[in-house]
Amino acid sequence: MAPTKTTYLRDLCLMYQEASFYATSIPRSCEKAAVKYFQMKKQEKVIAYLDTSLIGFYGKRGFYLTTDGLYWKCWRKKKGSISWNEFQQLTSISLRGEQIICFNDKEIFHLNENAYSAKKLVDLLQKIQQLLCHHSHEFMCREHTYPSISLEELTSICASFQENNPLLKAEQVLATTDQLGTEMTKEIKNRLPVAKTNHIVAHLSTYPHQKTEGITICAEGIYFSKSFTTLYYPWNLFRYVPISVGAEELRVANKYSLSLNHAFMSSGEVMSFLKQIKRHIHKTYEKDNTRKIDKQTLSLFV
| pTM, entire model | 0.82
Interaxial angle between packed helices 267-287 and 151-160, expressed in degrees from 0 to 180 and rounded to the nearest 10: 160
Q: What's the rounded Cα separation, in Å, for the pair 128 and 120?
A: 13
pLDDT tens digits for 154-206?
Answer: 999 998 887 665 545 555 668 888 888 888 888 888 888 777 778 899 999 88
Nearest to 255 by CA among 221, 279, 281, 231: 231
pLDDT tens digits for 232-278?
Answer: 899 988 988 899 998 789 999 877 889 888 887 888 999 999 999 99
What b-and-e string marks burial along 156-183, b requiring 16 or more CB atoms within 10 Å of the CB?
A: ebbeebbeeeeeeebbbbbbbbebbeee
**pLDDT at 167 (0 to 100):** 46
